[in-house]
Amino acid sequence: MHTYINKLIFGIGLVCFSFTLAVGQNTKVIEIKTKSTSLVYAVDQSSRLIFQHYGKTVDSPENFKQHKAYAKPDTDRDFSYEAYPTFGLGNINEPALAAIHSDGSLNTELAFVSAETNDTQPGITETVITLKDRVYDFTVELYTKAFWNEDVISQWTVVENNEEATVKLNNFASSFLPLKAESYYLTHFYGAWAGEMSVAEEKLENGIKVIECKKGVRTTQTENASFLLSLNHPSLENSGDCYGGALAWSGNYRLAFQVDEWRTLNVISGINPFLSAWSLKAGERLATPEMIYTFSSTGRGQVSRNLHDWGRKYAMVGGTKIHDIVLNSWEGAYFSFDENTLTGMMDDAAEMGIETFVLDDGWFGNKYPRNNDDAGLGDWQTNTKKLPRGLDYLIDYAHSKGLKFGLWIEPEMVNPESELAGNHPEWIVQSADRDKITWRNQLLLDLSNPKVQDFVYNVFDSLLTSHPGIEYVKWDANRHVEQAGSTFLPASEQTHFWISYTHGLYSVYERIREKYPDFVIQDCASGGGRLDYGALKYHNEYWTSDNTDPLSRIFIQYGTTLIYPPVGAASHVSTSPNHQTLRMTPLKFRFDVAMTGRLGMELQPKHIQGDERVFAEEAITNYKQFVRPLVTNGDLFRLKSPYDEGGWASQMYVAKDQTSAVLYAFSLEPHLRGIYPTIKLNGLDAKKKYQIVEINKNGKTRFRGDGQTFSADYLMNVGIELKIADQFDSAVFLLNVVH
Ligand code: GLA
């Protein structure tokens, strides 16, 4: 891996000016670059590492020697924005690091020691800047990985204690980013079960705005550890300076946005310090999770595309590969099934062109059968009453139909009514003699305990070893932590619980991926409750939401794909009226929406008959033949936001070589007669012509120019009017370059 090592020691390799430095000048400049961005730090005359710039590439780093950006020299002591502000150095803003040293001192003051950059693999450099306290043997290493082509950087820190005794870390952020503008607009995500990734944008005023999670496990069910920041105006699709940020961490997180007294925005991101003080013993190191950043001077559309490119390539499993079309049994059968129900579903799935059948909850537990969510969780043996011929019979049946077979598990959890809870009460997260609080009748296993890690790993490994025909796992997690406490951790380290849980989870994921590197795993936590780049690294896709209503999904998937790659967004056609919202929608609308992500179905397929069956089969064929490669590796261009006035939503995926594209348009409200949307396309090759052909027509043509050829500049600057007006009308078009 490390054959491209190209070491550059800053201070040796970089220019050193020969003239005497004036006050305010820097002695060294450290520049980290991607294709069109640069991140610049400088070392000042007091050996402090000062933040200088993150944004559009600056090609002459020597400027940063002559002029110290981000300095406030009018204060008593030169207050500059240090790269990693600690409490105790004169920093009066929110600190990135606050430590109680071994002698009880509360102050830390870091000085620059060294900087080194390695090319770790083609297209990626890793820079480590080492800082050391001026008094104590206490070191912080600031890491930055730069992904050249994707214009993404990731940052994290490693704190090392070489003092005589334990240092207590109270705050230990992954990254600090100060920004300067007239105003700042923060786009962030909020929601609830069945309504994840709703989008809010607000202007930041003086004070601190915090996006955080304090409840563990399902950390993204309400807010999400990601955001967009637009400078000087609300974010726009195709213009303006815009940053995207996401923390790769599946535990409690805290993203703090402080507009300080000088109207500088200080962004501090990392693990949530809430009840999480970490005792770092002498000689120990602690690594913080990666904070991902990207920047675009042409709006949030490019921010998303950078994150998608980076995510597909580096932050998920098989992100650039074609994903199977799935039939998941949950909404079609829930807990009520026997062999015939499932084989019947497989018959229909195979006939319709589906590629993988997934058996959801309800297949396990014998002493305490899992016939509802009251019992059986934790007892991962096939229920012999429901499935007398075992899983292998179902797996073989699936294979005989040309389908792959997938299975649901929720290995981090246990029902009190289960053999596991009786056998290992000490594995359950608990607090002394207090009553345990259940949620969906279940309790959480303590993944800070290595024995529990082994158990969870073995749930996965034993299933796959005894049933090698399983080719897909849906990994669920349906509660969070209302009451923390570990029988494994000593009393003095109970505050380690939150972080150790996540470390335990990651070590299980690591072991799984070592043995099963390409195996397909879906990331699910009651829907999108664990959607972050920390978890995604080990998964091939994510269950976006338990809400399968297509109108709700337009909003949920709009928010989700601002940050996360659409190829991973499991998006299923379910029945009408919808089980979560009771809304009635046409099958075409449901398919058209589901085809913007990883298409699947979540219903009893035998209920789709007659014309609907013909339409469904045609839509699945269209998806496979034309749409899926574009969803997988194409560039997403958002054309109309469902949040904007008008009651429309529209987007397209354009092939990287711009030879083909798919365009979607949706009518979200009833519109009066003759009120149609005009859609201006984007991302096409301006010099080329494209033929537009409507698919999934269902007997109707929604564009007067269907089948015609248009120049890209016409499509992008004049736009096309689509005849969709009724609520839940929709249209999908393929575009192909005509030579
Ligand atoms: C969670 C998941 C659903 C389904 C059920 C099964 O809610 O998000 O998709 O798997 O659990 O209990």
340 and 367 fall within a common domain: yes
Distance CA 112, CA 543 (A): 44
pLDDT of 6 > 50? The answer is: no
Q: Which pair of structure tokens corresponds to residue 63?
A: 């400027």
Return phi, psi of residue 463, to 5°: -60, -45
CA 702 to each of CA 172, 198, 562, 699, 730: distance values in angstroms, whole numbers, following the listed order: 55, 30, 28, 10, 9
Position 12 scores a pLDDT of 30
Taking residues 129-155, report their average pLDDT: 98
pLDDT of 21 > 60? The answer is: no
Q: Give the distance (Å) from ligand 1 centre to CA of residue 379.
A: 17
Q: Give the distance (Å) from ligand 1 centre to CA of residue 475.
A: 10
Q: Which residues pair with 285 in a beta bridge?
A: 160
390-400 and 339-352 are packed helices; what angle lies between their axes, rounded to 10 degrees? Answer: 20
Residue nearest to atom 8 of ligand 1 (CA): 526
Mutate to test the pocket of ligand 1, among 335, 337, 360, 473 (most ligand atoms within 8 A of CB): 360
- 207: alpha, beta or left? (left if phi > 0; alpha if psi -120 to 50): left
Quote the longest CA-to-CA distance of the chain. 85
Other CB atoms within 10 Å distance of the CB of residue 91: 20
**Upper half-sphere CA count for residue 42 (Cβ side, 13 Å):** 27
pLDDT tens track for 31-65: 999 999 999 999 998 999 999 999 999 988 888 88
**Residue 144 forms part of a structural domain:** yes
Q: Give the distance (Å) from ligand 1 centre to CA of residue 555.
A: 20
Contacts with 130 (C-beta within 8 Å, 6 or more apart), sequence order: 112, 113, 114, 115, 139, 140, 141, 142
Residue nearest to atom 12 of ligand 1 (CA): 361
Other CB atoms within 10 Å distance of the CB of residue 495: 19
Among the listed residues 230, 180, 176, the one whose alpha carbon sits nearest the alpha carbon of residue 69: 180
**Residue 321 forms part of a structural domain:** no
Instruction: Name the pTM for this structure.
Output: 0.96
Taking residues 468-497, report their average pLDDT: 97
Q: What is the DSSP string of 296-358?
A: ESB-HHHHHHHHHHHHHHHSSTTTTSPPPPEEESHHHHTT---HHHHHHHHHHHHHHT--EEE
pLDDT tens track for 364-415: 999 999 999 999 999 999 999 999 999 999 999 999 999 999 999 999 999 9
Contact by Cβ (8 Å): 621, 353? yes
Q: Give the distance (Å) from ligand 1 centre to CA of residue 320.
A: 26
Q: Give the distance (Å) from ligand 1 centre to CA of residue 707.
A: 42
The β-bridge relationship of strands 285-287 and 278-280 is unpaired
pLDDT tens track for 298-330: 999 999 999 999 999 999 999 999 999 999 999
pLDDT of 207 > 60? The answer is: yes
* CATH number reported for the structural domain that contains residue 228 in this entry: 2.70.98.60
219 and 361 fall within a common domain: no
588 and 718 fall within a common domain: no
Q: Which pair of structure tokens corresponds to residue 204?
A: 């930041």
Residue nearest to atom 1 of ligand 1 (CA): 526
* CATH number reported for the structural domain that contains residue 709 in this entry: 2.60.40.1180
Q: Which pair of structure tokens corresponds to residue 39?
A: 């991140």
558 and 671 fall within a common domain: no
Per mean pLDDT, which range of 262-271, 358-367, 431-440, 528-537 is the poorest? Answer: 431-440
627 and 641 fall within a common domain: no
CA angle 702, 706, 708 (to 5 degrees): 160
650 and 601 fall within a common domain: no
pLDDT of 91 > 80? The answer is: no
Mutate to test the pocket of ligand 1, among 526, 553, 601, 603 (most ligand atoms within 8 A of CB): 526
491 and 444 fall within a common domain: yes
92 and 142 fall within a common domain: yes
Residue nearest to atom 2 of ligand 1 (CA): 526
Q: How far apart are the first and last CA of the chain?
A: 42
Domain boundary among 635, 657, 675: 635
Position 74 scores a pLDDT of 60
Position 470 scores a pLDDT of 98
CA 590 to each of CA 314, 481, 696: distance values in angstroms, whole numbers, following the listed order: 31, 35, 11
Q: Give the distance (Å) from ligand 1 centre to CA of residue 476.
A: 7
**Residue 550 forms part of a structural domain:** yes
306 and 351 fall within a common domain: no
Residue nearest to atom 6 of ligand 1 (CA): 361
Residue nearest to atom 11 of ligand 1 (CA): 526
Q: Ligand 1 atom closest to Cα of 408?
A: 10
Q: What is the CA radius of gyration of the chain?
A: 27
Taking residues 704-732, report their average pLDDT: 98
pLDDT tens track for 637-664: 999 999 999 999 999 999 999 999 999 9
Domain boundary among 314, 345, 360: 314
For residue 19, name the pLDDT band (cuts at 50, 70, 90). very low
Taking residues 265-273, report their average pLDDT: 98
Q: Give the distance (Å) from ligand 1 centre to CA of residue 267.
A: 35
**Residue 320 forms part of a structural domain:** no
Per mean pLDDT, which range of 53-67, 159-173, 471-485 is the poorest? Answer: 53-67
pLDDT tens track for 458-476: 999 999 999 999 999 999 9
CA 8 to each of CA 11, 14, 31, 118, 128: distance values in angstroms, whole numbers, following the listed order: 9, 9, 12, 7, 11
Q: Which residues line ligand 1 (CB under 6 A)?
A: 330, 360-361, 408, 476, 478, 524, 526-527, 543, 546
Amino acid at the residue 531: L
pLDDT of 24 > 90? The answer is: no
Q: Give the distance (Å) from ligand 1 centre to CA of residue 577.
A: 19
pLDDT of 8 > 50? The answer is: no
pLDDT of 520 > 50? The answer is: yes
Position 23 scores a pLDDT of 55
Average pLDDT, the chain: 95
- Our count of domains for the chain comes to 3
Q: What is the DSSP string of 640-687?
A: E-TTSTTSEEEEEEE-TTSSEEEEEEEE-S---TT---EE---SS-TT
Among the listed residues 441, 446, 453, the one whose alpha carbon sits nearest the alpha carbon of residue 415: 441
Q: Which residues pair with 160 in a beta bridge?
A: 139, 285
Q: Give the distance (Å) from ligand 1 centre to CA of residue 729.
A: 29
Position 513 scores a pLDDT of 98
Q: Give the distance (Å) from ligand 1 centre to CA of residue 526.
A: 5
pLDDT of 15 > 70? The answer is: no
Taking residues 238-256, report their average pLDDT: 98
Q: Which domain holds residue 163?
A: 2-314
Contact by Cβ (8 Å): 357, 346? yes
Mutate to test the pocket of ligand 1, among 364, 524, 541, 545 (most ligand atoms within 8 A of CB): 524
Distance CA 314, CA 321 (A): 13
592 and 659 fall within a common domain: no
pLDDT of 129 > 90? The answer is: yes
Contacts with 192 (C-beta within 8 Å, 6 or more apart), sequence order: 221, 222
